[in-house]
Amino acid sequence: MTSVEREAVSRVTVGSSAGEYPVYVGCGGLDGIAGYLATHAEAHRYAIISDHTVAPLYGQRVMSACMSAGYGAAIYTFPAGEESKTRNSWSILTDELLGDGHGRDTVVIAVGGGVTGDLAGFVAATYLRGIPVVQVPTSYLAMIDASVGGKTGLDVRAGKNLVGAFHSPRCVIADPTVLGTLPESERAQGLVEAFKHGAILDAAYLDTLVADVPDLLAAAPAVAARAVLHSVRLKADVVTRDELEGGYRQILNFGHTLGHAIEAASDYQLGHGAAVAVGMLLETQLGEELGVTEAGTESGLRNALATLGFDASSCGHVDVEKALSYLLSDKKARSGRPRYVLLRRLGETLEGDGWSREVPDDAVRDVLSGLQ
């Protein structure tokens, strides 16, 4: 990769209470990592955290880049998969870093998908009361969604991401050339979050995504880079306006109230992307039935998601009672009642009380029952 080609890397700035941080999006970004570290996260040593699948592919590459730039670096790995996003993995990783004597002058580099970003981010958030982290997302989901906004978290018995912290990265390096090694099913699931960005904020973007689906699923680098960049810009704008999810940021939960409930009701056998796709369809139907979402919005969204291979049947059989009981424990609940982000139309979210609202239980039961 020459420096001319690397000029294709774009920089998006995200605001946070701890200061701004840049997200670099573009093909070849990973080759420039030593420079980004020198600029944004110079450290005595780097602790690279990656899973057993990604470490041999990209973790080692990041470590080599650090070392050839003269930095100390060590790699810490854990078994791939959501099963690793636990307090136990967090304990093991923090103990390993402590055992190796990492001090406050160490920076964590998270290299991997959403699980790695969440787990390594929580390690960094809590190690010695917080050390810096650089995020190197390697999946669509992590590039499009997880790497922007500073959320970190662990899954516990009661549900996913129920412990964690907001911990903004020093910088994010999203290089779509790495998406070629991602399994195709994960590509489709990750792209659901991009479709969500279109649905809540930008109808023209949703149209572009639909047109680009074949290239996106094939991880064609230039097309993937364009989508990642657009989603990062949209999300960065939301997160900058509302870092801690007090109000406007809630729009990013579109599709997630019912999506999480469906995912939980499946005992997490269902993929996150598929669950959110169905959640978006149901929440749009809910809005139409409540008369606040323009008629035809759900069918437009349904046509869009179908190009990715998702429809209302994507979640298989749903245990409605189990999903409803999960809703009452949803962490976005206020005063024990679940809240919903609803669309006005494709590309536009309804501003309610804090950008989300309660809806009658019967209406929720109706749309969930329609899945049977």
Give the interface with its own copies as residue ranges (CB under 8 A): 17-18, 44, 87, 91, 94-95, 98-99, 101, 103-105, 125-130, 151-153, 156-159, 161-166, 244, 328-329, 331-336
DSSP letter (8 states) at residue 58: I
Taking every pair of Cα atoms in the chain, the longest distance, rounded to a whole number of angstroms, is 62
For its own copies, which is the closer residue by CB, 103 or 316? 103
Distances in whole angstroms, Cα of residue 117 to Cα of each of 122, 145, 317: 8, 11, 31
Helix, strand or coil, per DSSP, at residue 2: coil
Q: Can 260 be counted among the known catalytic residues?
A: yes
Q: Can 235 be counted among the known catalytic residues?
A: yes
Residue 345 backbone class (left: φ over 0; alpha: ψ -120 to 50; beta: rest): beta
Q: Can 52 be counted among the known catalytic residues?
A: no
Residue 87 CB, nearest approach to its own copies (Å) = 6
Residue from 249, 283, 339, 357 carrying the catalytic annotation: 249
For its own copies, which is the closer residue by CB, 76 or 205? 76
Residue 256 CB, nearest approach to its own copies (Å) = 14
Q: Can 197 be counted among the known catalytic residues?
A: no
- Please enumerate in sequence order all residues whose Cβ is within 8 A of that of 214, keeping only pairs 6 or more positions apart, or say none: none
For its own copies, which is the closer residue by CB, 277 or 341? 341
Residue 337 CB, nearest approach to its own copies (Å) = 9
Q: Can 151 be counted among the known catalytic residues?
A: yes
For its own copies, which is the closer residue by CB, 80 or 165? 165
Residue from 193, 243, 263, 288 carrying the catalytic annotation: 193
- Alpha helices, DSSP H, located in 142-271: 184-201, 203-217, 221-241, 256-265
Q: Can 193 be counted among the known catalytic residues?
A: yes
Count Cβ atoms below 10 Å from residue 146 Cβ, excluding itself.
Answer: 25
Q: Can 288 be counted among the known catalytic residues?
A: no
Q: Can 96 be counted among the known catalytic residues?
A: no
Residue 179 CB, nearest approach to its own copies (Å) = 28
DSSP letter (8 states) at residue 156: E
Question: Parallel, antiparallel, or unpaired for β 133-137 and 159-166?
Answer: unpaired
Residue from 82, 96, 161, 245 carrying the catalytic annotation: 245
Residue 253 CB, nearest approach to its own copies (Å) = 12
Give the integer Cα–Cα distance in Å for 30 and 61. Answer: 9
Residue from 230, 235, 339, 357 carrying the catalytic annotation: 235
Residue from 253, 263, 283, 298 carrying the catalytic annotation: 253
Tell the residue number behind the tokens 């990973």, with chain if given: 30
Residue 93 CB, nearest approach to its own copies (Å) = 11
Q: Can 253 be counted among the known catalytic residues?
A: yes
Token pair for 193: 């979050």
Residue 100 CB, nearest approach to its own copies (Å) = 10
For its own copies, which is the closer residue by CB, 5 or 105? 105
For its own copies, which is the closer residue by CB, 44 or 241? 44
Q: Can 303 be counted among the known catalytic residues?
A: no
Residue from 233, 272, 339, 357 carrying the catalytic annotation: 272
Q: What are phi and psi of 265, to 5 degrees?
A: -65, -25
For its own copies, which is the closer residue by CB, 60 or 126? 126
- Please enumerate in sequence order all residues whose Cβ is within 8 A of that of 360, keeping only pairs 6 or more positions apart, or say none: none
Count Cβ atoms below 10 Å from residue 246 Cβ, excluding itself.
Answer: 10
Distances in whole angstroms, Cα of residue 19 to Cα of each of 9, 47, 99, 143, 309: 22, 23, 31, 21, 39
Catalytic residues: 129, 151, 193, 235, 245, 249, 253, 256, 260, 272
